[in-house]
Structure 1
């Protein structure tokens, strides 16, 4: 079998995209497009532990090759040996760093496709046998990854993420919110960069502004979501809420649990983060808040119109720590967030079925 003008169809394919949760999520539509075009291909993915849960038992992935850099450098050689032993004939380097380029080369694959030199870092482009077309810097990352499929002359395909939890996992995930009033709002608290995080008093003001039904929009029951590092922020939000009841799940759920939880939410709101992209991937409307980064490049797929940026001259700065106290995030008015959430609910009214109206209670 041949691939148009590109020669034989590759039988064993490796995707190299190791770290960021949001990046891995946005690469899944590329994987789906490959699987549609080449249903019999064996597809491996080189990944780090923090993103591995997203790909575990994924129906489009045959093999996960996990590199745990906490045990570096001793873990790197066995990892490379595993890559080499798989005898891949095509590698797609989506990471564009020195390490991913080295992994691509050491795989022994004759076909190694990477980003163009102007889009690469740390001389990554030197390890690729062929490059995709140069990408505009501010193009959505999901579309940049799709350019790999274009370079392989694959047919166009719908944007799909392919998330499916096994019944037992799905039941566990939805069990976290089984007793919560509907409709629910997922409140994403944290981000890997401190410069992206919204303030607890602002989050609480958004929650209070949406707790009561207004002009046909139902009241929303807030579910606070985050990892162990977000517990302090969750407590600060709960302390600000006064008489509004909320479900605090910060630090209690896994990344895979969020797949089922977001499927139960009418809407989600939060900063640029992996969970933001995960919510969008399962079809939950996301109102995203932007400080140091830009929605032009990273808005959640399908919901770019719900992005809100803090407009100051230095936005976007792409600094992990803000030297001026996250002024861009402070410029995002809670009322603007409230209004945008209501607009999202009106546009996706089917997700608010079973609205219970006022979700204010005397306790927390």
Structure 2
């Protein structure tokens, strides 16, 4: 069922960086269904830079729901602003009540969300939330009422030329040598693999495979990066805190492999096509937030207490942190080496593309 004459579409995702990355396929899918429509995206200010330079996106609308726009009056002002834009369709992958209230109060005639939403009664098109599917596919499923069928879309990010020049400058210390990117941070402390484990991994990658490591992350990850870099005697390049989100994505694009916690850089790798070793502790990839359509390995250990959270937490519920403490660097190194060996074999044959839809878990 297609909508004739649809002029403006609004996508609402006001969660974290990774959630916005995984919602980007909706932009291209909407333009595929309605080529003449303008697609806008509402998100929080911290994630808005991810959407810069997107060639198919109209306007990015930042909503500082946890900061200066917190409370009822700013919400009312935003509702009035959205109402004045006369959107014909709202697509809301974010499951919060506030997101549902926002698009309903703005008078958007067609509102699509999942039956997992806290405000599901405010939508007039509901789509069943499938726990076993990847989040990218769950998001795209929101367009199924309008005739969309999955067509192999994956997340997209668009670093600018100035972003690339900045990355050139920062990577000058590495030169043209291949490197492994490491992402040691996470907004949730329980999802962080210990810094000493990252340090040991970096040492082995250089000593045994001749690969230097480059740390990526936001300002909040700067101290983690400094701790890892200081133990490496200069062999690890710490770029955490020196990069914008799109610059981080560009560094990841240039890496041979990314080793990362279950956090935003994992999804940047899916957007840039970079092979990834993803470390899972309190969460599991079966929740739908693992690597997507890139060569990968999953680093995790079987424990009766896993998973203990859908998002991670500030502390281990049973006080052991065994899911990360007992995930030894030897395992992550072996998985990284296996993935690199597989990729080297593919590149020799010139057939890297045949692995885009393959993944391997351990």
TM bin, normalised by shorter chain, reads 0.7 to 0.9
For 2:144, which of 134, 150, 153 is the aligned residue?
A: 150
- Paired residue for 2:276, among 283, 286, 291? 286
Which among 21, 31, 37 is matched to residue 35 of structure 1?
A: 31
Q: Tell me, yes or no, if structure 1 residue 235 matches structure 2 residue 216.
A: no
Report deviation, 1:78: 2.4
d(CA) in 2 for partners of 1:299, 1:207: 23
* SS of match in other structure, 2:143: helix
Structure 1 window deviating more from structure 2 (288-297 vs 150-159): it is 150-159
Q: CA RMSD in A?
A: 2.1
Work out which of the residue numbers 237, 260, 265 in structure 2 matches 1:270: 260
* Equivalent of 2:48 in 49, 52, 59: 52
Number of residue equivalences: 339
Partner of 2:240, secondary structure, is: coil
Q: Quick one: structure 1 residues 311 and 240, their matched pair in 2 at CA, closer, same or farther if it must change by over 3 Å?
A: farther
Q: Which moved more, 1:254-263 or 1:43-52?
A: 254-263
Distance 1:170 1:305, change over 3 A: closer
Per-residue CA deviation, residues 230-275 of structure 1 (Å, 9 max, x unaligned), is 222222223433x461111121111121122112111110101112
User: Hey, what does 2:164 align to over in structure 1?
Assistant: 170
Deviation of 1:305 after TM superposition, in Å, equals 4.5
Structure 2 CA distance for aligned equivalents of residues 259 and 7 of structure 1:
35
Query: Which residue of structure 2 lines up, in the alignment, with residue 106 of structure 1?
Result: 105
- Among 176, 180, 183, which residue is 2:174 paired with? 180
Once the two structures are TM-superposed, the CA of residue 183 in structure 1 deviates from its matched residue by 0.8
Instruction: Find the partner of 1:327 among 298, 301, 322.
Output: 322
**Bigger mean CA deviation after superposition, 224-233 or 342-351:** 342-351
1:67 pairs with 43, 63, 68, which one? 63
Q: CA deviation at 1:23?
A: 1.0
* Distance in 1, Cα, partners of 2:308 & 2:345: 37
Say if 1:32 and 1:162, in contact at 8 Å, map to a contact too.
no
Query: How far apart are 1:170 and its partner, in Å?
Result: 1.9
Distance 1:350 1:231, change over 3 A: farther
TM-score by length of 2: 0.88
Distance in 1 separating the partners of 2:106 and 2:296: 41
Between the aligned partners of 2:155 and 2:345, the Cα distance in structure 1 is 21
Q: State how far apart, in whole Å, the 1-side matches of 2:121 and 2:81 are.
A: 23
**8 Å contact from structure 1 (residues 184, 265) kept in 2:** yes
Per-residue deviation, 1:349: 2.8
**In 1, are the aligned partners of 2:278 and 2:296 still within 8 Å (CA)?**
no
Q: Aligned-pair distance for 1:304?
A: 7.4
- SS of 1:211's partner is helix
CA contact (8 A) 2:190 2:281 kept: yes
Which is bigger in relative contact order (C-alpha 8 A, separation at least 6)?
1
CA shift, 1:6, in A, is: 4.3
Residues 225 and 162 of structure 1, relative CA distance in 2, 3 Å threshold? closer
The answer to whether the 8 A contact 1:310-1:330 is kept is no
Q: Please list the CA deviations of residues 143-179 of structure 1 after superposition, one character each: whole Å capped at 9, or x if unmatched.
A: 1112112222125423233322222222113321133
TM-score, with length taken from structure 1: 0.87
CA distance in 1, matches of 2:205, 2:22: 30
1:120 is aligned, of 109, 117, 139, to 117
**1:341 has 2:336 as partner:** yes
The alpha carbon displacement at 1:138 in A equals 3.6
Question: How far, CA to CA, are the matches of 1:263 and 1:304 in structure 2?
Answer: 13
Quickly say closer, same or farther: Cα 1:348–1:30, change in 2 above 3 A.
farther
- The residue number in structure 1 matching 2:360 is none
- Note the C-alpha offset of 1:352: 8.7
The 1:169–1:351 alpha-carbon spacing in structure 2 relative to 1, beyond 3 Å, is: farther
